[in-house]
Amino acid sequence: MGEDGIAISTHSRWNFPILVFFKDARRALGLDPLGREILSIAVPAAMALAADPVASLIDTVFIGHIGPVEIAAVGVSIALFNQISKVAIFPLVSITTSFVAEEETIERINNNEIENANMKKDPINKDQSRDETTLDIPQLENSKNDEAPKIKNAKRNIPSASTALLFGLVLGVILTLVLAFLAKPLLGLMGVKSGSPMLKPAMKYLTLRSLGAPAVLLSLAMQGVFRGFKDTKTPLYATVAGDAANIILDPIFIFVCKLGVSGAAIAHVLSQYLIALILLVKLTQKVNLLPPSTKALQFSRFLKNGSLLLFKVVAATIPVTLAASLAARLGATSMAAFQICLQVWLTSSLISDGLAVAGQAIIASSFAEKNYEKATAAASRVLQMGFVMGLGVALFIGLGLEFGSVVFTKDINVMHMISVGVPFVAGTQPINSIAFVFDGVNFGASDFAYSAYSMILVSFGTIGSLFGLYKVGGFVGIWIALSIFMGLRAIAGIWRMGTGTGPWSFLRK
């Protein structure tokens, strides 16, 4: 048993790296210290991550009662906004989480060393008389009481936090400008041409929602900081507050004010700024956001690793965006069904990102401490938990979406197409869970280069299958290609750790 309460096996038993995936498999859902630590981070993180797609689902439910054209138009706009914003969000949040976890761990270790050094320099004089010791105790207690609040309330100096917020603000403004001024040509690339009835409502929704991009980027950058601290509850509270506001404002703006799709966009934007404000207030209480100098900012480190993850997210975004574009070419009915299936697919899949966040934060801290036993145990546990969770989610979606599609639409043709997509949406959940959790495992080990290059290869393979299967199978072909996409992602993750290469080379020793 290790010092963290983790069951440690000797390396000799696991000299075949791929066997590490089965390490302590019987305890996959156990509530030992490691299991509790993972769940304390993963559960709030999963709820916060699922909140925004759930808000989009809520928009979809309300707009679905306006008409199939409007829901298809908003579906294209949401897909476009999400895919373009991910180009900035994914690298920013992932890098921030790892860097903050490393810096917080190193700062904690340094503070402990300083404290231990001070204790050695000023040992208590054990030769003092009983009377002298008695007289000194109140003074010592008062001194501790005076210092305790200062230590507890002291703000942390984490340069990567300030850098992340600055990048988030700049990228958010750029994203707003791109989406606002290039809405029509971007929608054209998604298959919504000038003569399409979807163009006007899609442009309205996308242009208005683009105004919330700075808030989205800032709030997610701050979520990355909190995740690095292993605090996922604060982002959850902020996200729930914002989405609750969205749920309240949606029917008011859409139906009472009769703003239609514009009302849905306005409600969503206001909720995003509320989330950003709450997180900013909380973060300023914990961190000094103004660095002592510009040299303290980590621009080069963020840009170097951020560029790698930028390639990764672009490569990961293209297949999903292309799939939505091909679905739009099949007509409003197919696009509406695809949008509903895609939102459910992504919402349920993103739940596994909670485990990815927990794995990333724990593994990054463990690598900073050079505690490779805990890093290995954490990686194995989150992957095992992800697979089991994926099986449960698959069963839930398979039954829920088959009989609950009426919640999203009453159009019988759209409902039929949804039923066609259910086997793919549900059946791929275990694979999706493993693929998403592996992202967190690799990021925790700062294996950004492999994540980028492997995703580029996966994307090339998927794009070819998308075009081929779309021509052969249409709607079904698109979903087969997306299933292949997630399968290749999972295989890439298994290959890296399972062969004991890169940062996991110690598994072969």
| Count of CB atoms situated within 10 Å of the CB of 284 | 12
Contact between residue 356 and residue 439 where contact means Cβ atoms under 8 Å apart: yes
> How far apart are alpha carbons 486 and 39 in whole angstroms?
24
Task: Count CA atoms within 13 Å of residue 206 on its CB side.
Answer: 37
Using DSSP, state whether 231 is helix, strand or coil. Answer: coil
Main-chain dihedrals φ then ψ at residue 122, nearest 5 degrees: -120, 65
Nearest to 91 by CA among 307, 258, 260: 307
The terminus-to-terminus CA distance of the chain in angstroms comes to: 20
CA–CA dist 251, 59 (Å, integer): 9
Q: Which amino acid is at 153?
A: N
Nearest to 73 by CA among 184, 177, 180, 217: 184
CA 63, CA 333: separation in Å to the nearest integer? 15
pLDDT per residue as tens, the chain (509 positions):
444 444 444 444 446 777 777 777 677 777 888 889 999 999 898 888 777 667 667 767 788 778 888 888 888 888 888 878 877 887 888 889 998 988 888 877 877 777 777 777 665 544 444 444 443 444 434 444 444 444 445 677 788 888 999 999 999 999 999 999 999 999 998 888 888 888 999 999 999 999 999 999 999 999 999 999 999 999 999 999 998 899 899 999 998 998 988 998 999 899 999 999 999 999 999 888 887 667 667 778 888 888 888 899 889 888 988 998 898 888 888 888 888 888 788 766 667 888 999 999 999 999 988 899 999 999 999 999 999 988 988 888 888 776 766 777 777 888 888 888 888 988 899 999 999 999 999 999 989 999 999 999 999 999 999 999 999 988 999 999 999 999 999 999 999 988 888 899 888 87
